[in-house]
Structure 1
Amino acid sequence: MHGSGVLSVWERSSTARVVPPARPRKLAKVPFVELADGRLQGVVSSGSDIGRVYVSSVEAGTYAFACSTNNNRPCGGARGTFCNHIRALVGEAVLQYGVERVARYLKAEVDAEEPDADSVTAVMAATRPAQGDRSAAAQVFSRFLRHLAYLELDPTTDPLPEMQWFPTTRAAA
């Protein structure tokens, strides 16, 4: 509610405003990216197999990283350093959220004159991060699949049953 007590259109519907991306991005390589659970995490398409995706993540502050297939097999390129999937994830996160927000979230102090995804990755890689726990991959992949399911729905302002747990602003009748 606003100071006037009048609800805006988006507050009366089952939809919410979405913050637009900092810059447009292509979803083919990195269809899902989020800053959540103390990590930059997402789903990255395989460059060699159209049926394979990787779930990649970088932990804020420690930069511990994990990368594995959707079948929980470890990424062959993530041995002691960031693989190309993680580099692509950072790049797309910067496009989605902006370099300042990504660097702040990851606690990466970038000194570059004009920071970009490569400078954020370089700061993190310079700390020689360890491989992290891959246990969150299932949750990240599940959220990605749930987001895909919403894309198949027709646009509507009708309530979605799985969103009923959100508090309502209307008084009970």
Structure 2
Amino acid sequence: MWTVPNIITMFRVLLIPVFVVVYFLDWRWAKEAGAFIFWLAAITDWFDGYLARKLKQTTPFGAFLDPVADKLIVAAALLMITHSYGSLWITVPAIILLVREIYVSALREWMGQRGSSNKVKVSFVGKAKTMAQMLALIGLLSGLETFMGFPIYWVTLGYILLYIAAVLSLWSMLIYTNAAWQHMKSYPQDY
């Protein structure tokens, strides 16, 4: 259980309360610091997977905890931006992203119980959604439109990427549902 990748994943889980507290501090750079902590957590997601494969340290615990850690920090960030912006334009795509995460997690669990988890493996569209979502959240959490007087438009880019992530989210949800559809039709006794 105490492999390097698992320790990194647990570190990511422990960053969630730190991220939330820092983001809401009454301090001039709190939002930027919160966005940085979120970015750090997002980067560790890539590292733990890479190291697990490279060091041959994949474990059942890591396979369970890694996606849970991802969903927890993303859910926290989505709730935080809906609170911070208080806008329908942020809330609607945030709800789409949250609903999709819950739906796809449940679908994967259900398919796993039937021995068909390979049918709903992460797809390219799912990976593209994750990339757009993470970049959108970093931009929106930071609140930066300028940096040292130079326009960088992080928030504007964040809005655009949030909508791209929402569209990719719905698209990937349809892909996973289609892949599982045959299994859904063949198990009527479960209802």
Same fold, TM-score > 0.5, yes or no:
no
**Whose strand fraction is larger, Structure 1's or Structure 2's?**
1
Taking structure 2 as the reference length, the TM-score comes to 0.28
Taking structure 1 as the reference length, the TM-score comes to 0.29
